[in-house]
Amino acid sequence: MKNYFDTHCHLDFLSNTDLAVEEARACGVNRILVPSVCPENFLKVIELADRYDGVYYTLGIHPCFVTNISADALETLEETILRCLSDNKFIGIGEIGLDFHIDDFDKEKMESFFHAQLSLAEKYRLPVILHIRKAQDVVLKYFRSFNLVGGIAHAFNGSKQQAKNYLNCGLLLGFGGTITFERSRNIRSLLKFVPEQSFVIETDSPDMNPSWLAKRAENSPKNIVRIFDFV
């Protein structure tokens, strides 16, 4: 049996984590990376990594969670990072980035939080998990302004030139269930264009459903196997 790694899975948002991990392992998915999204779930992702072999985590504040939190959250993030630096299950900063898809978000605050979290990644020499939606060039501009050690551009959907720019900065590109849809011509084209060693696959469970799941169904890490087969 092959050994699979789901490089982006919000295990803490699944309805039954024990079942999800059990089913994933039965399929050969023996490693799962769980990014946090806000201070309220920092302890949860740490606990999940402690509970399950092969589960790792990153710490960060997702751009879509920035609106309703204060700058104190950044202090909480750094305090949690400091406590976790000796934990070999803690492997980076994320999920962080920019999301310009929804117009009523406070872009200035979002960019401020992103900048601050990139600074933490530089300070502690940690890779990043980047959320990028309608903001490929702006995210890369911020990334280039720091001396960072790389990471993953999650759910990448930019142009080939943008893909080159990200790869040249030492980032890997993440592809998930979206590539299984026939209408996803741009992502499929990117997948053929990007060198095999320069991308990873992910489920983004419970979201980013592949084509064989109903729209409102819950995605799970076991689906990384069929996504991999499609790739």
146: domain CATH number is 3.20.20.140
pLDDT at residue number 126: 98
Work out the pLDDT band at 104, boundaries 50, 70, 90: confident
Angle between helices 160-168 and 136-144 (to 10 degrees): 20
Q: How many CA atoms lie within 13 A of 70 on its CB side?
A: 3
pLDDT at residue number 102: 80
pLDDT at residue number 105: 81
Work out the pLDDT band at 35, boundaries 50, 70, 90: very high
- If one counts the domains in the chain, the total is 1
pLDDT at residue number 121: 98
pLDDT at residue number 1: 75
pLDDT > 70 in the chain, percent: 100
155/204 Cα distance (integer angstroms): 8
pLDDT at residue number 9: 98
Report residue 225 as tokens: 């196997």
Q: Read off the pLDDT of residues 181-202 as tens digits, 9 standing for 90 and up.
A: 999 999 999 999 999 999 999 9
34/228 Cα distance (integer angstroms): 19
pLDDT at residue number 215: 86
User: Range of 11's domain?
Assistant: 4-230
Q: Does 103 have pLDDT greater than 80?
A: no
Average pLDDT over residues 36-41: 97
Average pLDDT over residues 199-227: 97
Angle at 191 between CA 194 and CA 202, to 5 degrees: 105
Average pLDDT over residues 173-188: 96
Average pLDDT over residues 42-60: 98
Q: Round the average pLDDT of the chain to a whole number and report it.
A: 96
56/32 Cα distance (integer angstroms): 6
pLDDT at residue number 222: 98
Average pLDDT over residues 94-111: 91
pLDDT at residue number 37: 98
